[in-house]
Amino acid sequence: MQTEFVISAGEQPKRLDVFLVHREPKLSRAALQRMITAGWVRVNDQTAKSSQRIKAGDVIAFDTPQAAPLRLNGQTTRLEILFEDRACLVLNKPAGIVVHPAPGHWSNTLLNALLDHCVRLGEAATPSLVHRLDKDTSGVMVIAKTAEAHRGLAVQFECHSITRLYEALVWGVPAQEEGRIEFAIGPDRQNPKRTSMRTLKPKAAVTEYQVAEPVGAVAARILLRPHTGRTHQIRTHLQAIGHPILGDRDYGGGRVGAIDGYEIPRVMLHARTLGFTHPITDAYCEFTVAAPPDFDATYHLLHLGASCEGKASCYSESPEIC
């Protein structure tokens, strides 16, 4: 839902985010700043910055977040739950599902399904997110079910004490078998919906990687350990070293969309392992899930193609010809 209003003549000039905090008290300043950065807020039909000074006569328009419905229009989304108690829930998120309601995705999100799940269990809990995975990313996520659990988990993510291991299929093979990527990143100057090193608000970001297996010369399966949790950190860091994730057209362009005629079905990134201290019991918990079938299928097809270089195409319906 879009909200639009005109700044009255009596309004004193002030920062856009400060003005909106008083205008929309249900939204925190941090949330409003994220909305502004994402381009959801416009001043005089132009994207704006949080620090922009508003003045009388300005027209402000923004997409107002809507409450997620407790039911998915009468439909239940199957959740692969790995662990659950009254404090938190751990699940294996499938690729292709948006985690949180946002403009264009107010329903059929993971949070909608979680709310529906709690209602069906007869629980009064309100699940809340402490971290996110992109729509195309699969893998382990932890969800808080109480305010106390949310605080406990959020602190761990904030101080980077969470254990996280990802795996990805990337374009090309890194020259070094393992390495550490340390590039500060933030919203891109030209496109705030993207993350890059060309930013006015750089934040330190560290990702370690290890090549698990090259796939000929065209690709590699690699393991990644992010030590910070910036938006699109892994995707941005891999692009920066010249090895974007296969299927990630936003950060790798058309070259990563298909290999030797094989169309990559999605961004080939999987959150394999997540470890944390339980926010109530203080017990260490760690969960690992294998990559989903589409990830493995892409890997095997690429591997098959690499092993058949110089022979008849192995992407035919009869790969045994190789």
Instruction: Judge whether 98 and 135 are in contact, CB under 8 Å.
Output: yes
Look up residue 75 and give its DSSP letter: B
Distance (Å, whole) CA 268 – CA 288: 17
Q: Which of 17, 58, 63, 134 is catalytic?
A: 134
Are 40 and 76 spatial neighbours (Cβ–Cβ below 8 Å)?
Answer: no
| Alpha-carbon span 73 to 136, nearest angstrom | 23
CB-based contact 175:283 (threshold 8 Å): no
Q: How far apart are CA 181 and CA 313, in angstroms?
A: 36
User: Which neighbouring-strand residues pair with 62?
Assistant: 3, 41
Chain-centroid distance of CA 41 in Å reads: 21
User: In one letter, which amino acid is 225?
Assistant: R
Residue 45 among the catalytic residues? no
Q: Which of 284, 173, 160, 137 is nearest to 225 (CA)?
A: 160
Question: What residues are annotated to the active site?
Answer: 134
